[in-house]
Structure 1
Amino acid sequence: MKADRLVATLLYLQARGRTTVGELAAELEVSHRTARRDLEALAAAGVPVYSRRGRGGGWSLVGGARTELTGLTAGEIRALFLVAGPPAAETPELRLALRKLVRALPSTLRSGAEAAARAVVVDGTDWSRSAAPAGPHLDPLRRAVLDGERVRLGYAGRDRPAGVRLVDPLGLVSKAGAWYLVAGTPRGLRAFRLSRVRSVEATSDPVRRPDGFDLAAAWRSLAARVEDRMLAATAGVRARRDALPVLRGVLGERLRVVRELADGWVEIEVAGPSADVLAAQLAGFGARVEVLWPAETRNRLSRLAGELAALYWTGPEPPYRGADRRELVG
């Protein structure tokens, strides 16, 4: 592509200082006519390139002008801006770096880079929930990670009051619109959700980074622990085939079809963090699903049915007995 050759020409001029049309044509494996046209295109695009006739002449960058490009092709530039464009919305330093890179590009490549930066938006949330805001602590934690500085982290756990923990910030992860800090603690690696961070205080002490630490591998390990907890309970279910699309929408990969049954039914297995959670997720499907096992989930559904009947029953004789309106006749 011509844009790729223009970048290669510019870098060749930067490395050599001066070149002839013949030398450039041999380097890029193009004709003399093409090499001359590329040099003229650079000059027309505003790159300070000039030619001098006679012995010792050739094409040079005016005043030794230089570009900070390091061999990027037009395709590589577009790919860089496609990937970096969405995170730049949240990162002032990245926005500034991209602007500097755009200014360093020849005008023939600049419009493509700017278009690529605007071409993609990453929305990591699903329709059923809002993204958890990162809060005001993303920037100080990013600095702590980059500077390798230990911090005192004010943090409120899911079921615990806020407390202060001394942690070694090792990396930041964005998952489905929520930010997490991966940090070393006295109990090993932990992931801290930024929406639960209450304060960040730098200590000036260096981070203790595990030998060979790899953020991606560490996050996979931490995520696997969470997924194990999310799959702690399993239930066997008989479900109407026409309910499967909605069941998959609710349960995702936690649903597995076991076998086909007669009359439009299928047997499936579903997983979740607990029997109570599974019962609550399946209750809304009414008679289109029947839990076969375990008894704990069946009993929880029975109690839910009694509570709902007592709350919403409009018939003459409610299906409960005694003073407790939530006790089913059984």
Structure 2
Amino acid sequence: MRTDRLVAVLLLLQRREQVTAAEVARELEVSERTARRDLDALAMAGVPVYSVPGRGGGWRLVGGARTDLSGLTAPEARALFLVAGQATAATPAVKAALRKLVHALPEPFRGQAEAAASSLVTDPRRWGASRSEPRPPRFLDALQDAVIRGVRVRLGYVDREGAGTERTVHPLGIVAKGSSWYLVAHTEAGRRVFRIDRVTSAAPTGDPVHRPEDFDLAESWREIADEIDRRRTPLKVHALCAPDGMYLLRMMLGGRLQVGGSTPDGRIEVVIGGDHAYALAGELAGLVEWLEVSGPPDVLDHLASIGHALVARYG
């Protein structure tokens, strides 16, 4: 994080002409001691920065030295090298913009900035998955362009059942989840989500998008993801878990596990989501040492049946 902090400090000096260590610390959310070290590091790197002692003093750039990046805020500068510079995630346009950014920096920073830009790799694959890198969906660029320009799209789409449809949508945003890409759009039927790898055509109409004034993509996606999770796991199992079994339960179930309070005997109330009673019973059967399931009845019946089958085979 050091290089992007130094760039942020430099931009802050350009905007305000003079800053104190306390102001830098507040802006970058670091300690004053760290802020002072960063200001000293700027001077040591050859940036023309100097301190003004006494009351009303601070740090300044000699002669108001500037780059062409003064429009960036400190948080934007801090994010650039970690987001735009991800070696596996950046598009060609982002990489080109990052190169221009690096060349606009003072010479002492360029090598460090280029190193920072290639220091983070995002790998969405699970262990044991195919080594081949998933390709971006065919119409990703076209849909992203429609979102940016704010124009409607005539969208061809094939649903999970294989049925093809065509409709005009108002693209509102694009979300990457794991290795999959989704288009969030407004339609005649309300807000909808489309997997971009199922899109068969995407033709911009030129008509402007009707975007709700209070629309927030991140908040909208949270609502969508929560609803998808509810649909995927309509079955809820209630149980009590011994404290030393919670680590295994969290590791196995991830987001399908809801943790409640403790009972007088020290066990922990949990709710486990699933989509099929027998499959869920099969998952939980191996946790009988720590877990006591109280319902629903069909899961209890399946657990008993699995237990009898295990005893019959191995008992």
TM-score, normalising length from structure 1? 0.64
C-alpha change, 1:226 and 1:301, in structure 2 (3 Å) is same
The answer to whether the 8 A contact 1:236-1:270 is kept is yes
1:234 aligns with 2:236: yes
Higher mean alpha-carbon deviation, 101-110 vs 120-129, is at 120-129
1:244 matched to which residue of 2? 246
The answer to whether the 8 A contact 2:9-2:74 is kept is no
In the alignment, residue 121 of structure 1 is paired with which amino acid?
V
In the alignment, residue 82 of structure 1 is paired with which amino acid?
L
CA distance in 2, matches of 1:208, 1:3: 38
The answer to whether the 8 A contact 1:257-1:266 is kept is yes
1:199 aligns with 2:201: yes
- After superposition, residues 88-167 of structure 1 pair within 5 angstroms as 89-124=89-124, 126-127=126-127, 134-167=136-169
C-alpha change, 1:147 and 1:222, in structure 2 (3 Å) is same
C-alpha change, 1:290 and 1:203, in structure 2 (3 Å) is same
Larger relative contact order (Cα-Cα within 8 Å, sequence gap ≥ 6):
2
User: What is the deviation of 1:261?
Assistant: 8.2
Higher mean alpha-carbon deviation, 119-128 vs 108-117, is at 119-128
Instruction: Note the residue ranges of structure 2 that are not aligned, 5 or more in a row.
Output: 21-42, 49-62
2:272 matched to which residue of 1? 270
Q: After superposition, give the CA deviation of every residue in 1:40-93 in whole Å (9 maximum; x if it has no partner).
A: x579xxxxxxxxxxxxxxx899xxxx9522165899645421232128734111
Q: After superposition, give the CA deviation of every residue in 1:117-138 in whole Å (9 maximum; x if it has no partner).
A: 1222234455486797542221
- Report the secondary structure of 2:203's partner residue: strand
**Larger Rg belongs to:** 1
Return the match for 2:259 from 250, 256, 259.
256
Q: After superposition, give the CA deviation of every residue in 1:193-243 in whole Å (9 maximum; x if it has no partner).
A: 223333323333332222332222222222232233245322123556554
1:221 aligns with 2:252: no
C-alpha change, 1:239 and 1:204, in structure 2 (3 Å) is same
CA distance in 2, matches of 1:184, 1:166: 9
1:34 matched to which residue of 2? none
CA distance in 2, matches of 1:132, 1:273: 28
Q: After superposition, give the CA deviation of every residue in 1:98-153 in whole Å (9 maximum; x if it has no partner).
A: 11111222212212321221222234455486797542221111111112222233
C-alpha change, 1:71 and 1:252, in structure 2 (3 Å) is same
Instruction: Note the residue ranges of structure 1 that are not aligned, 5 or more in a row.
Output: 13-26, 31-37, 44-58, 316-330
CA distance in 2, matches of 1:191, 1:168: 11
- Report the secondary structure of 2:173's partner residue: strand
- After superposition, residues 38-57 of structure 1 pair within 5 angstroms as none
The answer to whether the 8 A contact 1:236-1:291 is kept is yes
C-alpha change, 1:242 and 1:158, in structure 2 (3 Å) is farther
The answer to whether the 8 A contact 1:155-1:197 is kept is yes
C-alpha change, 1:85 and 1:28, in structure 2 (3 Å) is same
User: RMSD between aligned alpha carbons?
Assistant: 4.3
CA distance in 1, matches of 2:200, 2:6: 53
- Report the secondary structure of 2:121's partner residue: coil
CA distance in 1, matches of 2:161, 2:306: 24
C-alpha change, 1:226 and 1:261, in structure 2 (3 Å) is same
2:211 matched to which residue of 1? 209
1:182 matched to which residue of 2? 184
CA distance in 1, matches of 2:85, 2:228: 30
The answer to whether the 8 A contact 2:240-2:270 is kept is yes
In the alignment, residue 256 of structure 1 is paired with which amino acid?
V
The answer to whether the 8 A contact 1:258-1:269 is kept is no
CA distance in 1, matches of 2:9, 2:253: 51
- What percentage of aligned pairs have identical amino acids? 39
Q: After superposition, give the CA deviation of every residue in 1:10-51 in whole Å (9 maximum; x if it has no partner).
A: 889xxxxxxxxxxxxxx6599xxxxxxx8xx579xxxxxxxx
CA distance in 2, matches of 1:234, 1:129: 29
- Report the secondary structure of 2:86's partner residue: helix
C-alpha change, 1:161 and 1:313, in structure 2 (3 Å) is farther
